A and B are shown apart, each in its own frame.
Chain A
Amino acid sequence: MSTADVVSPVTAPGEHHAHSGDGHDHGHGHQPHLAHHFESYEQQFDAGKLGIWLFLVTEVLFFSGLFCAYVVFRVLYPELFAFGHLFLNKELGAINTVVLLVSSLTMALAVRAAQLGQRQVLISMLVVTIACAFVFMGIKYVEYTTKFREGLFPARYFAPTPEALLHAAHMIHDAQSHGAAGHAAGDGAHDEHAADTSHGHDAKAGDHAHEEVNKNGLTAAEQAMVDSVKVPANAGLFFSIYYCLTGLHGIHIIAGIAAISWILVRSIKGHFTPLYFGPVEYVGLYWHLVDLIWIYLFPLLYLIH
């Protein structure tokens, strides 16, 4: 740094590189968190905001590939989707939707608190948001492990267990017996009762304890029901798409948790002021996008006929 003390006319006093590296740290002295190459907080905020919006654009296009695969296969092979969705748990999906919506609200409140300089509110809102994210991931974990147990893997390893098929058979059966007349057998139609009755089947071991079971652990009647289920060719494709979409979304939730935690630490340190709250807003925007994507995923995957 032999030349560093020679103040060149290039840099205005007080803007000079007193810090490490080559002076790109916040050199504005009395203006904390204003980077040296920006003229004002507003310019810095605008740059950051435009940056984060562009980043969201890349996220949208990133996901668009998966949505594209979804749309193509759904249009060409609707039966895969009608079949596959029988195995998804609508209640858990709905709960997760609400969880994410709550977290979106708290995130919006957190941004508001940051703008107004209400540090306590900001901190608590961020904590709630992170908590929601964890709840979401917990529920996803339950869903995934259930699927794995039932042999519902991506295409190459797709091998539903008899229990899983029995469950599907019941859903199809319920749908038909409830008079969804317009639906052909096996296309997976069901109405709202299907969900209620399906709880019962989980307890099948109790109901049918006295009956003889075959090697699949099923009674003759159950086996007949399982056999009646027509598994469409390549049914695993639905699960491939399901795992890709929800998996990538899950990774974004995890990234979100990391980002919000970082914001939380900084707000505890008291970095944010009504002049400088950009990072909270940027992370908030990201978080809302993650929520937005789920808003589409939920009906697309869980609520199909």
Chain B
Amino acid sequence: MATIVENPSLTGGSPGAEPVVDNYLTFTRGWKSWAFTLDHKRIGVMYLCATLGAFFVGGVMALLLRSELFFPGKQFLSPDMYNHMFTLHGAVMTFLFIIPGIPAAQGNFVLPIMLGAKDVAFPRMNLGSFYLWVFGAIYLVAAIIFGGLDTGWTFYTPYSTTTNTSVILATTGVFILGFSSIFTGLNFIVTIHTMRPPGMTWFRMPLFLWATYATAIIQVLATPVLGITLLLLIAERAVGIGIFQPELGGDPVLFQHFFWFYSHPAVYIMILPAMGVISELISTFSRKHIFGYRFVAYSSIAIALLGFLVWGHHMFTSGQSAVSATMFSFLTFSVSIPSAIKVFNWLATMYKGSISFATPMVYALSFIFLFSIGGLTGLFLGALSVDIHLHDTYFVVAHFHYVMMGGTLIAFLGGLTYWWPKMTGRMYDEFSSQMAAIGVFIGFNLTFFPQFVMGARGMPRRYADYLPEYEFYHQLSTIGAFVLGVALVAAVGILVRSLWTGPKAPANPWGSATLEWQCSSPPPHDNFATTPEVGDPYAVESVKWSDSERGYVKNPSYVPSKDH
């Protein structure tokens, strides 16, 4: 980072905005100015590094899992080691990477700027949330060192209350991470409600903000229930309260209800911000106003609220009563409608646009492809009788990797490549990162598509060993995982390389109309020199390409339409 800071060209101000002397990276120096920063942008950058680190740790674990499964029988991981590995892979990926991934890393960076505010409402709490993440991560790592964890990321009782791995350490870690997530959500809700500048009405907010707002609702309402569930689990192990223990009169299925009351809404914590990113990308790179703004905005809220009513679909075979299963199945499908609305609106946005295949758009297009598969396979799982067959097989594993990895991670990369020039002031190499994006796409499908087939044919999940009939699919999947690994390392490597070699980024390289592109790249400490001009966030015609700036500048002939 030092290189950027010292580069004199950066302080010369970026084209397209008023010349600015310092930016948030150069504003103050020294590690303390980062460790104790209250600037949402720096906190966002720290979150970004941290969550990416977690992703790589989780990814390495995934590669170990896949390597073990290349042949049936034991290769190099004992069954116990395998169990530890998938548990930690799942726990690290969900709690350390994907839940904070988009909202806390990218959201923190852009949310206040998009809104036209100087910062989030509670900067101290924001920093606190980051450190809670760090502590939570330390606990999880401690759990790995002191005895490991082999419960699955779901912590089902009574397995989790009887195993002799360090469940208490790990659940304490997740408990802390839960608070980190609550603080982020709470901060965002308050910021969006109380920090909007004049002119920034609800319906002038970019869809990414609607999405993070909807996400924040879930974070605030659902995460506390995870907190109490984990506390009860800790108490169960420590003093035997018996609430989840059958031999003490308790009920293990109760635990599943508690767990999924949080964890189903949590999957929408993962996907909603991703959908928000995609809405920004599709409109920008089609150079067209987003289609059906209000429908897309409302559908985020609808997904957030409906998402609370469907948790029972993870428990169709648990001994749940037939009546509740029916109810949950029905409600599950209701979430597909707002998701469908979004997908179709993105397509309609592309219609008659001017579509660029810049890296973020490549990710956005692969998001539509992969998320459709992931979402549509959710329909198989939501259908009662079919889920009985598919539950706890690789079909489910494939489903959730398609939505989490094919959906959220791809959108994360899309957002990262989109806001990268804004965050760092550097442009990365376009061609190589497009290639990396395509590599990720191919590797991903090769990894997870075969899992649908073997899952439907009965291959159970969480298996360290399997029957020879599934070998072919496992081998495809393992090969895919390595392709994916290489492509991902390339994708991130290209970005990192741009810090040293990339050309200086203009204020608005893509031609977006949202506020974060009005300030220089990287933005100044206080975000805006003057109160930003709030207009329609998708009026892409309000900016036009300028060869001299190598970016987009204000279009003098633009007249805001009455329509929006």
Contact = CB atoms under 8 A, between A and B. Distances in A.
Contacts of B527: 10
Contact of B186 (A51, A153, A154): A51
B21 A6 contact: yes
B221 A57 contact: yes
Interface in A39-78: 43, 46-47, 50-51, 54-55, 57-59, 61-66, 68-69, 72-73, 77
Interface string A204-216: 0000000000000
A10 B20 contact: yes
Interface string B228-267: 1101100100011111010011110010001000000000
A237 B232 CA distance: 13
A3 B28 CA distance: 7
Interface stretch (B32-40, B479-487, B488-496): B32-40
B186 A55 contact: yes
B243 A58 contact: no
Contact of B243 (A3, A4, A50, A241): A241
B194 A50 contact: yes
B117 interface: yes
Tell me if B's interface is mostly helix, strand, loop or mixed.
loop
A156 interface: yes
Interface stretch (A20-28, A95-103, A290-298): A20-28
A243 B220 CA distance: 26
A270 to B, nearest CB: 22
Contacts of B221: 57-58, 61
A62 B249 contact: no
A58 B242 contact: no
B18 A22 contact: no
A24 B123 contact: yes
A160 to B, nearest CB: 15
Contact of B38 (A22, A64, A157): A22
Given A1-B28, A62-B227, A240-B241, A6 B182 contact: no
Interface string B38-62: 1100100000000000000000000
B529 A10 contact: yes
B228 A62 contact: yes
B26 A3 contact: yes
B38 A24 contact: yes
Given A1-B28, A59-B224, A233-B249, A11 B526 contact: yes
A3 B248 contact: no
Interface in B165-206: 182, 186-187, 189-191, 193-195
A51 B527 CA distance: 23
A61 to B, nearest CB: 4
A74 to B, nearest CB: 13
Given A24-B38, A65-B229, A154-B242, A237 B526 contact: no
Contacts of A24: 37-39, 119, 123
Contacts of B186: 51, 54-55, 58
Interface string B108-151: 00000000011101110000000000000000000000000000
Contacts of A131: none
A69 B231 CA distance: 13
B224 A157 contact: no
B27 interface: yes
Interface residues of A, number: 53
Contact of A51 (B27, B33, B121, B530): B121
B27 A3 contact: yes
A20 B229 CA distance: 41
A9 interface: yes
B20 A62 contact: no
A69 B242 CA distance: 11
A234 interface: yes
Nearest to A69: B243
A244 interface: yes
A127 B235 CA distance: 34
The listed residue with most A CB atoms (<10 A of its CB), out of B28, B239, B242, is: B242
Contacts of A8: 20-22, 524-526, 529
Nearest to B20: A8
Nearest to B239: A154
Interface string B510-529: 00000000000000111111
B372 to A, nearest CB: 33
Contact of A65 (B38, B189, B225): B225
A69 B530 CA distance: 54
A35 B221 CA distance: 28
A58 B181 CA distance: 12
A61 B189 contact: no
B189 A50 contact: yes
A155 B38 contact: no
B223 interface: yes
A240 B194 CA distance: 42
B29 interface: yes
A59 B527 CA distance: 34
B249 A155 contact: yes
11 contacts: A37-B119, A47-B191, A51-B186, A51-B187, A57-B221, A58-B223, A65-B258, A69-B232, A237-B241, A240-B241, A241-B243
8 interchain residue pairs of minimum CB distance: A156-B240, A234-B249, A155-B242, A65-B228, A24-B38, A240-B241, A62-B224, A61-B224
Given A3-B27, A80-B249, 6 more contacts: A1-B28, A6-B21, A10-B527, A23-B525, A47-B193, A47-B194
